[in-house]
Homo-oligomer: A and B are copies of this chain.
Amino acid sequence: MELWFTEKQTPELGITCKVKDVLHTEKSQYQQIAVLDTYQFGRLLALDGIIQTTICDEFVYHEMIAHVPLFTHPNPKRVLVIGGGDGGAIREVLKHKSVEAAYLAEIDGRVVEVSKQYLPEISCALDDPRCHVEIGDGIKFVQEHKGEFDVIIVDSTDPIGPAVGLFHQEFYRSLYDALSDNGLFVAQTESPFYNAGLISDIYRSISEVFPITRLYLAHVPTYPGGMWSFTIGSKSYDPIDVRIDVKGMDMCYYTPELHKAAFVLPEFVKNIIKGGL
């Protein structure tokens, strides 16, 4: 049976995958939430029709958004994830033994509930005693916590709809204030192929707030172009100058060598960054 889900990654480009079953759909207060079972990627979570994560390739995004900043900080104890209601980032964060408390500030409680029900492999750590789930506005949560977090991970949806405020400089200033003295944050910052202007703006905005700004890349096959960027703003630790010990941690994408290689950018990506400075 020809049943296909298509995500328009741009108005003129789509990814389309064959669907085995629709496990769940609902319209929450914030967005349409869907869990589809696909032949290629297994179960996938889509918000407003945009693929957020899939059973098959989630390891790339979640390992890279979590371990790069957490290994940059020599002793991360308190970590905040904004967005990330599927729990994948939290799962990776809690692989770090130094972490004493991991907060999840997700605006849409239904994403958390649906992920717990349909994506247990991803959401499993949300019930860990070190994890504290706060359903509410991440921007407000950040404003109400000063100097508290060693690492903040902004695991947001695209800069449309509920996530739009997470891409403004004002928000990066709040992150600065919410971080501890030597803290750092990372945000997912879209595709260099299709969102060059946005990346350029974000990089400049962050570098006006933080002394150290770094962009790195990973291969996420279900995201537009398959090349995804993450940007770090850091108060003192430089992510490309770190010592990493992954002993006892089980990973499928991240390695200490890849941590560094991910910051080596193609010429055109370097130019995107320069374009904003």
Contact = CB atoms under 8 A, between A and B. Distances in A.
A6 interface: yes
A60 interface: yes
A241 interface: no
A275 to B, nearest CB: 14
Interface in A180-233: 193, 217, 219-221, 223-227
Contacts of A25: 1, 20-21
A266 B16 contact: no
A262 to B, nearest CB: 8
Contacts of A253: 266-268
A30 interface: no
Interface string A234-277: 00000000000000000111110110111011111010000000
Contacts of A57: 193
| Number of copies of this protein chain within its complex | 4
Given A40-B10, A225-B221, A34 B1 contact: yes
A interface secondary structure, majority? mixed
B217 A193 contact: no
A164 interface: no
Interface of A: 1-8, 10-22, 25, 32, 34, 36, 38-41, 46, 48-49, 57, 59-60, 193, 217, 219-221, 223-227, 251-255, 257-258, 260-262, 264-268, 270
